[in-house]
Amino acid sequence: MYLREIKSGGSLIGSVKVPGDKSISHRSLLFGSIAEGETTIEGLLPAEDPISTANCLKAMGVKIQLTTDNKIVKIQGVGLDGLKEPNDVLNCGNSGTTMRLLLGLLVGKQDRHFVLTGDESLNHRPMKRVGHPLKMMGAKVSGRCNGDFAPLSVVGAQLHGAVIGTPVASAQIKSAILLAALTAQGSTTVIEPANSRDHTERMLKAFGANVQISGELGRHITLRPGHKLSGTQIVVPGDISSASFWLIAGSLIPGSDITIENIGLNPTRTGILDVLKQMEANIELFNKREVAGEPLGDIRVVPSKQLKPFYIDTEIIPRLVDEVPILAVAACFCNGTSQITGASELRIKETDRLSVMTRQLTKMGAIIQENPDGLTIQGGKGLTGATLDSETDHRVAMSLAIASILAKGDSTMARSNAASVSYPEFWSDLERLRK
Give catalytic residues, as residue numbers: 322
Q: Minimum CB separation from ligand S3P for residue 132, in Å?
A: 14
**Is 321 one of the binding residues for ligand S3P (CB under 6 A)?**
yes
Judged by CB, which is closer to ligand S3P: 172, or 417?
172
Site string for ligand S3P, 173-202 (x = CB under 6 A): --x--------------------xx-----
Name the residue among 202, 164, 207, 209 with its Cα closest to residue 183: 209
Please name the amino acid found at residue 66. Answer: L
Contact letters for ligand S3P, residues 123-162 (x by CB under 6 A): ----------------------------------------
Q: Given candidates 171, 229, 273, 397, which one binds ligand S3P under the rule CB under 6 A?
A: 171
Cα 64 to its chain centre, rounded Å, is 22
Angle between helices 22-34 and 171-181 (to 10 degrees): 10
Give the H/E segment covering residue 184: none
Ramachandran region, residue 392 (left: φ > 0; alpha: ψ -120 to 50; beta: rest): left
> C-beta of 34: minimal distance to ligand S3P in Å?
17
Contact pick of 40, 91, 94, 172 for ligand S3P (by CB under 6 A): 172
The sign of the torsion formed by the CA atoms of 36, 28, 416, 395 equals negative
> How far apart are CB 435 and ligand S3P at their closest, in Å?
31
Binders of ligand S3P in range 73-102 (CB under 6 A): 97
Contact between 367 and 402 (Cβ < 8 Å): no
d(CA 384, CA 367): 12
Least distance between ligand S3P and beta carbon 307 (Å)? 25
- Report the site for ligand S3P in 103-122 (rule: CB under 6 A): none
CA–CA separation, 406 and 388 (whole Å): 14
> What is the nearest approach in angstroms of ligand S3P to the Cβ of residue 129?
8
Is 28 a binding residue for ligand S3P by CB under 6 A? The answer is no
In the complex with ligand S3P, the residue whose CB is nearer, 179 or 292, is 179
Distance (Å, rounded) from C-alpha 134 to C-alpha 382?
Answer: 47
Sole binder of ligand S3P in the list 322, 323, 389, 429 (CB under 6 A): 322
Count of chain residues binding ligand S3P (CB under 6 A):
12
Answer whether 336's CB lies under 8 Å from 308's CB.
Answer: yes
Q: Count of CB atoms within 10 A of residue 68's CB?
A: 7
Q: Least CB distance from residue 318 to ligand S3P, whole Å?
A: 7
Residue 259 binds ligand S3P, judged by CB under 6 A: no
Is 399 a binder of ligand S3P (CB under 6 A)? no
Say which residues have a Cβ less than 8 Å from residue 58's Cβ, sequence separation at least 6: 64
User: Amino acid identity of 17?
Assistant: K
Q: Looking at beta carbons only, is 196 or 242 nearer to ligand S3P?
A: 196
Query: CB-wise, 294 or 322, nearer to ligand S3P?
Result: 322
Q: Which among 238, 234, 237 has a CA at the least distance from the CA of 16?
A: 238
* Interface region with ligand S3P, contact rule CB under 6 A, candidates 84-92, 164-172, 216-224, 402-410: 164-172
Q: Give CA torsion, residues 293, 278, 380, 400, to 10 deg.
A: -10
Over the range 25-51, which residues count as b (16 or more CB within 10 Å of their CB) and which as e?
bbbbbbbbbbbbeebbbbbbbbbbbbb
CB 5 within 8 A of CB 429: no
Of positions 16, 18, 23, 44, contacts ligand S3P by CB under 6 A = 23
**Residue 170 makes contact with ligand S3P by CB under 6 A:** yes
What would the x/- binding string for ligand S3P be over residues 336 to 355, using CB under 6 A? ---------x----------
CB 345 to ligand S3P: min, Å: 6
**Binding site residues, ligand S3P, CB under 6 A:** 23, 26, 97, 170-172, 175, 196-197, 321-322, 345
